[in-house]
Chains A and B, each alone.
Chain A
Amino acid sequence: MAILVVAEHDNTDLKDATHKTVTAAKQMGGDVDILVAGKNIKDVMAQAAKIDGVRHILGVDHDSLTRQLAEAMQAVIVPLMSEYDAVIAPDTTAHKNYMPRVAAKLDVMQISSITGVESADTFIRPIYAGNAMATVKSSDAKKVITVRTTAFDAAGEGGSADDKMLDAPAAPTTSQFVSEELTKSDRPELAAAKIVVSGGRGVGSAENFAIIESLADKLGAAVGASRAAVDAGYVPNDYQVGQTGKSVAPELYIAIGISGAIQHLAGMKDSKIIVAINKDEDAPIFQVADYGLVADLFKAVPELDAAL
């Protein structure tokens, strides 16, 4: 079988999510090609060509693909699918946006956010905020799959895939990019970080979040947050970890002032080591924490910061 992996990139750098998606594709068996759709993507294509075990790199370079809007991505991928048995992409917001469009155009059911590959047509995916794992077998001729990247290891480097440029289809006219406001951060990317320090409602204010950030910087960690902290305006929404935010599975997850609602746990309970700091000893977060500290975070966090 032939599998098309759609690259996650920002037109300059290829993201690690692509490597992890390649691993999932390899587990399905068959030839793996990578599609890089964007603007001025030569560098991204060169990086993709280095991923081990990849056959071809396909590039589509056009203004309309700069932000990978759904309508434009659909126009690129659907015609390519006459050559492929499956298309697979990371479940980041960019890909979650257009993949169902591709599936609908192919008249197949999308298999969202898989965490395991049983065989070329059978996959494992979390449902009910990760409180159950469903094993599903697809009867569709073509598979459209998004991957929970935290569940797969990154494919190694050392490959030397050839590349070719494809013609861009006509740009869609019904949807236009207007602007973007990106959160500036020098810290590691949340979904890929080895350590994540998250704050919740207990942190109390945007100013108080500085102690969370200071601890994160000491550990070289990414900063996350619960929905309560985002809704209260302490941090931007793209910090949110959970069912409706990002899923993370770092080596170490430190939850500070987070009670541990089902929706939050859905996004972090696959972390290797979970530490909880909360003054409420009955907080549900302690049920999943490997190490729990019942303490006032305003005392414990600065102490922890100083001890590191």
Chain B
Amino acid sequence: MKVLVPVKRVLDYNVKARVKADQSGVDLSNVKMSMNPFDEISVEEAVRMKEAGTATEAIVVSIGPAKAQETIRTALAIGMDRGIHVLTDEDLEPLAIAKILKAIVEAEDAQLVIAGKQAIDNDYGATGSMLAAMLDWPQGTFANTVETSGGSMTVKREVDGGLQTVKLTLPAVVTTDLRLNEPRYARLPDIMKAKKKTIDAKTPEDFGVDTTPRLKTVKVTEPAGRSAGVIVENVEELVASLKKEGVI
């Protein structure tokens, strides 16, 4: 089974986003960028499937600027077989991304797509499900555990209230949740080896996809700040304060 994993280069999860003074967006100049944490989990799962013999080939795709190639190299170092880089300087929406991914899935004849459940920059959480709909494939979102047997896949999903298990007929799309696995670190020799793996260079035009944004960002602002609080000396003072606020 051929597995496709889309990855996204995003502002590092430990960095606090700063809104630009002109309210046009978040300042991404001179800040640390890295692979979206959910995508690391997707890559790890695909590599484990290869190691287990379930997957025959694992392809990593990233759609983004020239530097997205570094993100692809990271995935290759972890164990993905080859990469596809769709070069664009535009910040594409999940709808356009899903259309490009659909074209790649069909061209590669992949049977499984493992995507992160959301990117931590735009927080849409839409690409995986959109892709599944476009392909008319079933989906296993927020995956906590996955198990492949024959032509189907059992996915335990993290849902409000607990866990839900569904069985999907392959081909399918799975989106990963935090607890699916613990991604490994790439070892230095593997990072060197990854430099020799191939990355196909593409552009959105190669797929004939209209990437015109449907949502126009009118402005991006700082969230309402919280006024400075007080440090209380002891529990009695805390209880008195909360009583005064009328919350207990």
Contacts and interface: CB of A to CB of B under 8 A. Distances in A.
State the majority secondary structure of interface residues on B. mixed
Contacts of A166: none
Tell me which of A94, A179, A281 has the highest count of chain B C-beta atoms within 10 A of its own C-beta: A179
Contact of B247 (A128, A174, A252): A252
Count chain B CB atoms within 10 A of each CB in A67, A71, A289 and give the residue with the most: A71
Contacts of B235: 293, 295, 300, 303-304, 307
A292 B230 contact: yes
A101 B140 CA distance: 12
Given A175-B138, A238-B161, A300-B235, A129 B95 contact: no
Contact of A244 (B164, B178, B218, B219): B178
Given A100-B94, A133-B221, A134-B220, A293 B232 contact: yes
Contacts of B220: 127, 132-135
Interface in A152-176: 172-176
Most B CB within 10 A of own CB, among A97, A136, A307: A97
Nearest to A299: B235
B215 A111 contact: yes
Interface in A285-308: 286, 288-295, 300, 303-304, 307-308
B217 A92 contact: no
The winner among B13, B94, B242 for most chain A CB atoms within 10 A is B242
Interface string B84-122: 000000000111001000000000000000000110111
A131 B28 CA distance: 14
A109 B96 CA distance: 9
B245 interface: yes
A122 B218 CA distance: 9
A139 B216 contact: yes
A101 B131 CA distance: 8
Interface string B201-231: 0000000000001111111111100100111
Contact of A273 (B94, B217, B242): B242
B140 to A, nearest CB: 8
Contacts of B98: 104
A40 interface: no
Interface string A97-121: 1111111110111111100000000
B124 A293 contact: no
B247 A273 contact: yes
B184 interface: no
Contacts of B215: 109, 111, 136-139
B168 A174 contact: yes
Interface residues on B, range: 35 or more
Contacts of A227: 178
B232 A292 contact: yes
Given A174-B137, A175-B138, A300-B235, A98 B158 contact: no
B238 interface: yes
Given A110-B126, A137-B216, A180-B165, A304 B239 contact: yes
Contacts of B124: 110, 112
Contact of A238 (B14, B160, B226): B160
B66 interface: no
B162 interface: yes
A140 interface: yes
Given A112-B125, A219-B248, A100 B133 contact: yes
A128 B154 contact: no
A108 B214 contact: yes
Contacts of A294: 231
A178 B139 contact: no
A195 interface: yes
Contacts of B213: 109
A23 interface: no
Nearest to A300: B235
Interface in A47-69: 67, 69
Given A195-B248, A291-B231, A295-B234, 10 more contacts: A100-B125, A109-B213, A132-B26, A132-B221, A135-B218, A136-B215, A139-B214, A177-B165, A178-B166, A292-B229
28 contacts: A71-B139, A74-B133, A93-B159, A96-B125, A103-B95, A109-B214, A113-B123, A127-B122, A131-B17, A132-B221, A132-B223, A137-B216, A173-B169, A178-B165, A179-B165, A195-B247, A243-B123, A262-B16, A263-B13, A269-B223, A269-B226, A273-B242, A291-B232, A291-B238, A291-B241, A293-B234, A295-B235, A304-B235
Interface of B: 11, 13-14, 16-17, 19, 26, 93-95, 98, 117-118, 120-134, 137-139, 141-142, 144, 154, 157-169, 172, 177-179, 213-223, 226, 229-232, 234-236, 238-239, 241-242, 245, 247-248
Can you list the 3 inter-chain pairs with the closest CB atoms, starting with the nearest?
A: A100-B129, A128-B17, A109-B214
